[in-house]
Every structure is written in structure tokens, then in C-alpha cells.
Structure 1
Amino acid sequence: MKKLFGQYAGLRREMYIIFFGRVVTNMGALIWPMLTLILKSKMGLSASDSSNLLLLLGVLQLPCTMIGGKLADRFSKRSIIIVCDLVTVGCYLVCSLLPISYLFVALFFVAGIFAQMEWPSYDALVADMSSSADRERAYSLNYLGANLGLVLAPTLGGLLFAQHLNLAFLINAVST
């Protein structure tokens, strides 16, 4: 383990903060397969309608990535990440309190768009915060955080799906 993670020792403290931010951000990314199950199983949409909705989200996210890049060039990257994360997490929290409906789906779309907008800021922030000697290790740690979030997400998403996204379940799970 030390050999595996030892390569990341000695990076600036900010790189580890970005790592944890990337883990958390990417944990929300794989809620989309769960949304497919929600649309089909809980809302009764056909596979075609479900895929069309998710295709629409993908089409909407592409220009949002470019907008996020422009924002990262113009404004504070940290602020963009914080604002986008607040909107994303806020939408997910509101979804946990709502019955499954089209409003629920719309909030997921908003969360997905804002999560996508922050990606360019993360990448630019890693470049800004790392020295040229540490840049490869800094980006490696950044992508490790992204992948770790993608690995953890299906487990949490499955639990949320099984419990109908009930916030009471989350509170109960934390307290036990």
C-alpha cells in the first residue's frame, strides 16, 4: 500500500483537497445508471423514453463543459467548483426529500449540468497548483480521486435506489 500511495507524498496540501473534492464530485456522476432504473422501475417509462431523456442530458452537458472552461478562464476556479458543488449537492438533497416525479428528474438534470461545468476548473486548478516537476503526480492523484468516486458511487446509488431515496434511511444508516 505504501508503494502505491507513497508516490503521492510531498504534494501540496491543495492537491489532497482537490483529490477529495474529485472523489465527492464523481460519486454523484454514477447516479445516472440509477436514474435509468428510477425512470423505468419507479416512473414506468419505457426503455426508449428513458434513454431519450438521458441522451438529452448528454447533449445538454456538452456545451456546459465548454461554458465551464470559459468560466474557469475568467473567474476563480475554486469559486466555480464550490458553487457548482453546492448546486449539485443541493439538488441531490432536495431529490432525497421529494417523491419520484418529473421535478425529481429535472433536479437530477440540473445537478448533472452543474457537475459537468466544474470539470474544467478541476483540471485547470491542478495545473495552476502544481509545479512542473510534480504535475504528473498531481494529475495522477486527481484522476485517482475521480476513479475512486466512480467506484464508490454504484454502491451508494444502489442503497439509495433500494430505499427509494429516503433521507430517513440515510440518517438511520449514519446513526447506527
Structure 2
Amino acid sequence: MSGWLREAAGGLPRQFWFLWTGTLINRLGSFVVLFLSIYLTGDRHFTQTQAGIVLGLYGAGGAIGTMTGGVLADRWGRRPTMLTAQFGAAALMLTLGFAHGYWQIAAVTFLLGMFAEGVRPAFSAMMVDVVPDHDRVRAYSLNYWAINLGFALAAVAAGLASQVDYFLLFAVDAGTTLITAIITAIFLAETRPARVRTTGAAVPAGGMGTALRDRIFLIYLLLNLASVLVILQHASTLPLTMLDDGLSAATYGLVIAVNGVLIVLGQLFVPKLIAGRDSARVLALGGLIIGIGFGLVAVADTAWMFALTVVIWTLGEMLQSPSNAATVAALSPPHLRGRYQGLNSLSWSIGTALAPILGGLILQTGGDAVLWVGCFGLCAIAAVGQLLSGPARARRAALRRTEELALAVRS
């Protein structure tokens, strides 16, 4: 066991573990977005469509936040960008708890999306900065493990807290975000790569236009977006489907906690399982399993059946997540890591905006079967796309490794 622990977690930089700790604490209180659709329809008595629009506004704000955060992470620095986003998100989380009117809630949710998601590019860029290439899949698996340990505990706790007072969800979420900001302020040092000089001139770092013209990267993001649109149904239409089948919010909390528990139990074994395997095949297989899991929601009508679907799509998520993060890192030029991570986060923000709106609309007009079978079809198409575009990504990743080595020598 000690040898396995050293292989899974040994030798990583000290700053990585501060990032990891902040992730765990923040996720232990990640209540609000998970239960927002239930809060809006159950406690505030909004319609499913109105709830979908509010969740969509969170995603729209997140889209702006990730793009802004990515640029600031490269220009301003990782640490100041993270601090601004984290303190702002904590304040807005409390504000949302006190909001009552529909448009007031909608406006605060939009701003919360900007700040809460704005931290992601800087955080991800800092992790790429401090973890060497050969350790990144392992580091991402550990961070993903922390995310889901916190998520599993938060889902159960939020389900119970919602039966007492929904305001507890907002207060605890704000508190854990504040603690994460304090960790950033005290323990994390700036890691933005310094400009190097050759023949007396600064090496050009490029800009957002460089990232937006990178067709290989953009195709990958488009394929990833397809999976994101499906995965994010777990926080929008899945709880609504379960409520329609007569299950409670607390039951949804227990069922969705299966996702976090399974990842906590098995995620640290994934790096060894996928080591040396073609990343395109891993991504394709993971996406297909995700599609199967969500597709089976169409026939689920009891708590244990919903839990089984969660088990299936979680297995796919466990394969896909570390491979996705490592692929984005491998495709990112050193001086544009913030922007590339911002565009990657943007795909999640777009998914956060579109998933509840599209999912809610399909659920309301087409019904369960159309929605969940459609989720399987979308994942199957994305899996084929991963296989076809994999060789081009492999060639680009090899070029980026050469650039990173050259930069290290010049520095």
C-alpha cells in the first residue's frame, strides 16, 4: 500500500499540494450550482424553463469570466487573478442567498458565474506551470479525486441542509470559497513564465488570436463540448427527471453522491490503467461510456436504477477527465497557457449555459426518452471525432514539448 501511495502521490511539488488543498476545501462547500435548479423550482416556485434560463445565465457569465480570467492569468499573473475571482465569488454567493425577485436572482447568478468560473484558467495554468509534463496525468487525477471527494460529501450534506434552510447552502459555499482565497493569499507564489530574451529581443508570446486560429485545439474543444453538454445534465435535467418520478431532493443528493464516492474509491488507479495508451482512444472510450450511462436514464424510474446510471457514466468520466486535462496542457504554448486554459474553461461555460436550456426545452417538449437517447447519440458522435482527430493532436503535442524544453534551456 505504501508503495502504491508513493507511486500515486509521491514526488509532486509543494505548491501543487496547496492547490490540491484549496480544491478540496472549496468543493466540500460546492452546494449552490448543484442544487440551484431544485431551489428555484421548489423554494422559489419558478418554472422549469425559468430555472433553465437562470442556470444558463450562470454559464453565460462563466463564459465571460473564463475568457477574461485566461487573459489576466497571462498578463496580470495567476495569483492576483485567482484572488480577485475567489473573493468576488464568495461575496456574490452570499448576495444570491439574500436575493428574492426573479430578475434579481438572474442578475446575481450571472455575476457569480463570471467570478466563480474566472478562477479556473489561472488555477489550471498554475498547475501546468508547477507540475512537469511526465507527472501531469497523475497530478490531474489527484486533483480530480479531491474535487469528487468534496463533491460526494457536499451532495449529501446539501441534500440534508436543503430540508432545513436553503440559505445554509449559500452561506457554507461562500465560507469555503473564502477559505480557498485565504490559502491562495498565504501559501501560493506566482508562477507565470518569465519572458526570455534571444538576440536582445523578447520572444513573442502571441495573444488570444493565436489560440483562436489553432484549428487542432479548437476541434478538440468542440468535441469536448459535446461531452460537456451531456455531463452537465446531471445538475439540471437529471434532478428534474427524478422529481417527476416522485423522488425527493434528498434522494437526488444521495444518488448523485455515488458519482463522487466511486471516483474517490477508484480514480487514483486510473493513471496506471491508462499509462502508455493512446489518449484519443481513452477519450473516445470514456465519452462512449458516458453516453451509455446517460442514455439509460430513459428507462430509470427508481432510486437504485438512477444510481446505476450514475455508476456507468462516472466510469467514463473517470477515464476522460485526466486525459482531457493533460491533452489541453500538452497543446498549450508555455506563454499562452492562461488563454488556452481559458478557452478550455469556456467550453465548460458554454456547456453550462446551453445544457440546462437545451435540456430543459427538450425535456419539456420531447420528454425523457428524446433527451436521454439524444445524449447517447451526441457522445457516440464525439467518440468517433476523437479517434479521427487524435493523430493531429499527437503531432502538435510533440511540437509543444520541444518548445517547452527550448524555453527551459533559454531561461
TM superposition score normalised by structure 1:
0.77
Taking only the aligned residue pairs, the percentage that are identical comes to 28
Shift of 1:142: 2.3
Aligned to 1:120: 121
**Contact 1:31/1:154 (8 A) holds in 2:** no
The change in CA–CA distance for 1:24 and 1:106 in structure 2 (over 3 A counts) is farther
1:4-15 mapped onto 2 (5 Å cutoff)? 5-6=5-6, 7-15=8-16
The farther-off stretch of 157-166 and 8-17 is 157-166
Asked if 2 retains the 8 angstrom alpha-carbon contact of 1:15 and 1:126, the reply is: yes
Give matches, 1:1-40, under 5 Å: 2=2, 5-6=5-6, 7-27=8-28, 29=30, 31-40=32-41
Letter in 2 for 1:134: D
Indicate the RMSD between aligned Cα atoms, in angstroms: 2.8
Instruction: State the distance in 2 between where 1:28 and 1:114 align.
Output: 16
Instruction: Give deviations 1:106-156, integer Å, cap 9, x for gaps.
Output: 444433321111111111101111233433332222222233333233123
Closer/same/farther in 2, CA of residues 44 and 4 from structure 1, 3 Å limit:
farther
Contact 1:30-1:154 at 8 Å conserved across structures: yes
Q: 1:61, 1:116 within 8 Å by CA — same for their partners in 2?
A: yes
> Helix, strand or coil for the counterpart of 2:24?
helix
How many residues in Structure 1 have an aligned counterpart in Structure 2? 168
2:36 counterpart of 1:61: no
Q: 1:5 offset after TM fit, Å?
A: 4.2
The offset of 1:28, in angstroms, is: 5.3
Q: Which has the larger displacement, 21-30 or 56-65?
A: 21-30
Please, which moves more after superposition, 112-121 or 58-67? 58-67
Find the aligned partners of 1:56 and 1:105 in 2 and give their Cα distance: 7
Report how far residue 84 of structure 1 moved.
1.4
What is the CA–CA distance in structure 1 between the aligned matches of 2:143 and 2:48, rounded to whole Å?
35
| 1:156–1:110 Cα change, 3 Å | farther
Q: Which residue number corresponds to residue 72 of structure 1?
A: 73
User: Cα–Cα, structure 1 residues 143 and 86, in superposed 2: closer, same or farther, change >3 Å?
Assistant: same
**Number of the residue aligned with 2:51:** 50
> SS state of the match for residue 133, structure 2?
coil
C-alpha distance in 2 between matches for 1:125 and 1:93 = 28
Distance change (3 Å), C-alpha of 1:99 and 1:70? closer
Summarize deviations over 1:79-120 as a string: whole Å, max 9, x none.
222221112222234445x36444455444433321111111
Whichever residue aligns with residue 85 of structure 2, its letter is C
- 1:78-93 alignment, distance < 5 Å: 78-93=79-94
Higher relative contact order (CA 8 A, sep 6+): 1
**Structure 2 CA distance for partners of 1:164 and 1:111, relative to 1, 3 Å:** same
Give the residue type in structure 2 aligned to 1:52.
I
Conservation of the 8 A alpha-carbon contact between 1:42 and 1:100: no
Is the 1:28–1:153 contact (alpha carbons within 8 Å) kept by the matching residues of 2? yes
Give the 3 Å change call, closer, same or farther, for CA 109–154 of structure 1 in structure 2. farther
User: Structure 1 residues 146 and 35, CA, compared in 2 at 3 Å: closer, same or farther?
Assistant: same
**Matched-pair contact (CA < 8 Å) for 1:26–1:149:** yes
Q: 1: distance between equivalents of 2:37 and 2:147?
A: 22
Show the counterpart of 1:149. 150
CA 144–166 in structure 1, closer or farther in 2 if over 3 Å, else same: same
CA distance in 1 between partners of 2:131 and 2:20 (Å):
13
User: SS where residue 118 of structure 1 aligns?
Assistant: helix
Show structure 2 runs of 5+ residues with no match: 173-411
Q: Match of 2:116, as an amino acid?
A: A
The structure that has the greater radius of gyration is 2
Structure 1 counterpart of 2:73, which letter? A
Does the residue aligned with 1:44 lie in a helix, a strand or coil? coil
Secondary structure of 2:127's aligned partner: helix
Looking at structure 2, the residues matched to 139 and 11 of structure 1 have their Cα atoms a distance apart, in angstroms, of: 11
Q: Give TM-score, length-normalised by structure 2.
A: 0.36
What secondary structure sits across from 2:46 in the alignment? coil
Moved more, 73-82 or 21-30: 21-30
* 1:22–1:142 Cα contact (<8 Å) kept: yes
